[in-house]
């Protein structure tokens, strides 16, 4: 085994897997390369649910050259029938001699079973090279497949003093055009976008993706609206083709407003209250997971972000800071609520990454 050479080919496989970002959910991002005598004879990645998996595409391209070749795969091959046949069977039938797998699949239907079946068939298998790379690439899939709830990313645009709007609730635009374009790039990596009703009432956003990489992608648009204040003239209704609209509410699905919204193509979902009397966000995330929505990007407002933070329901956050100072005692910040009594109790971001776009500062971290 030549670890350096294996790393090079696996890195290439990861390059292929990343092409599926934002498209293959709720399935994982997977890339595969078939190599024979140092030459790449087949490549593939899984682009969309229902389409062939990475290994199958790579084997088809390799044809008869796959016999006695080495397969480099970013994630453990599946052993079960889903929308497509088991990839392990295809590797065995093709006569692959050796398989380098970067990471095990956390899906209980697959976990270690794919490795075991290949070894039983006489294939040499090594596992774990560049495993940390897979953990980051497939963070959405890993959470979804194990917990059956979406991976939640929050995006905040704030001034340097932490304000998300002025005291008159003006928020256009705190960050630069380039930073807003980056936010649309991030949107495209998720299946759904979520906002609270106050954001919808104040900003009347379209909640679409406006980025050249995602021209044909539709986001599921999720509105948290306990009292069904959703305006029937909202811009979202002019863009029905841009994605499904979901509204979570306390109100009965048989109310007049719910019926009016349904006539406009909205799916209204009634959810019980939490102890605080607000909509139970845990139940909302569970409903989304049950309906195969594996990732959600939350973009406001302050009440929704605060509730998610207080309930520890955010996995990852992007805080985009402009170099402006807004001030104002009554100007909202993105994390309000009761707050902590001591600095020692405060939330701390993990695995942070900081970079700039123009004059704006972008802080990425995990909670």
Q: Name the 3-class secondary structure at 151.
A: strand
Token pair recorded at residue 86:
């088991």
Cβ-Cβ contacts under 8 Å for 268 (sequence gap 6 or more): 228, 247, 249, 251, 253, 258, 261, 262
**How far is Cα 112 from Cα 108, in angstroms, rounded to an integer?**
9
336 counts as catalytic = no
Omega of the bond leading into 173 within 30 degrees of 0 (cis): yes
**How far is Cα 318 from Cα 352, in angstroms, rounded to an integer?**
10
Q: Is 363 exposed, middle or buried (0-12, 13-18, 19+ CB in 10 A)?
A: middle
- DSSP state string for 213-231: GGTT--PEEEEE-TT----
Kindly calculate the radius of gyration of the chain based on its CA atoms and give it in whole angstroms: 23
Cβ-Cβ contacts under 8 Å for 30 (sequence gap 6 or more): 17, 20, 24, 45, 46, 53, 54, 55, 73, 74, 75
Give percent helix, percent strand, percent coil of the chain, each to the nearest 5: 35, 20, 45
Token pair recorded at residue 53:
């998996």
Active-site choice (11, 55, 240, 310): 55
What are the backbone dihedrals phi and psi of residue 90, each rounded to the nearest 5 degrees, phi first? -65, -40
Closest CA to 297 of 209, 238, 212: 209
Residues with catalytic function: 55
């Amino acid at each position: 085994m030549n670890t350096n050479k294996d790393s090079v080919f696996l890195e290439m496989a990861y390059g292929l897997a990343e092409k599926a970002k934002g498209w293959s959910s709720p399935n994982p991002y997977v890339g595969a390369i078939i190599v024979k005598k140092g030459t790449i004879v087949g490549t593939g990645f899984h682009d969309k649910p229902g389409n062939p998996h990475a290994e199958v595409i790579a084997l088809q391209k390799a044809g008869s050259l796959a016999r006695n070749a080495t397969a480099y795969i970013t994630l453990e091959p599946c052993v079960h029938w889903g929308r497509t046949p088991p990839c392990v069977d295809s590797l065995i039938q093709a006569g692959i001699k050796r398989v380098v797998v970067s990471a095990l699949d956390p899906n209980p239907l697959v976990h270690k079973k794919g490795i075991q079946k290949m070894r039983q068939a006489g294939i040499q298998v090594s596992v774990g090279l560049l495993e940390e790379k897979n953990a980051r690439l497939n963070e959405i899939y890993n959470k979804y497949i194990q917990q059956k709830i979406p991976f939640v990313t929050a995006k905040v645009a704030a001034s340097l003093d932490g304000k998300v709007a002025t005291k008159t609730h003006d928020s256009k635009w705190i960050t630069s055009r380039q930073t807003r374009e980056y936010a649309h790039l991030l949107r495209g990596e998720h299946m759904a976008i979520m906002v609270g009703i106050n954001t919808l009432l104040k900003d009347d956003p379209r909640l679409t993706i406006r980025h050249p990489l995602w021209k044909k992608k539709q986001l599921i648009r999720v509105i948290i609206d306990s009292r069904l204040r959703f305006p029937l003239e909202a811009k979202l209704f002019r863009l029905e083709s841009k994605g499904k609209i979901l509204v979570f509410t306390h109100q009965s699905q048989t109310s007049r407003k719910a019926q009016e919204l349904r006539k406009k193509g909205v799916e209204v979902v009634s959810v019980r209250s939490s102890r605080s009397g607000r909509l139970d966000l845990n139940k909302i995330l569970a409903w989304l997971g049950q309906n195969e929505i594996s990732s959600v990007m939350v973009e406001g407002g302050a009440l929704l972000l605060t509730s998610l933070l207080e309930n520890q329901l955010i996995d990852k956050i992007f805080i985009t800071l402009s170099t402006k100072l807004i001030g104002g005692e009554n100007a909202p910040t993105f994390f309000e609520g009761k707050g902590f009594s001591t600095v020692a109790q405060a939330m701390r971001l993990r695995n942070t990454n900081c970079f700039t776009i123009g004059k704006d500062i972008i802080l990425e971290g995990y909670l």
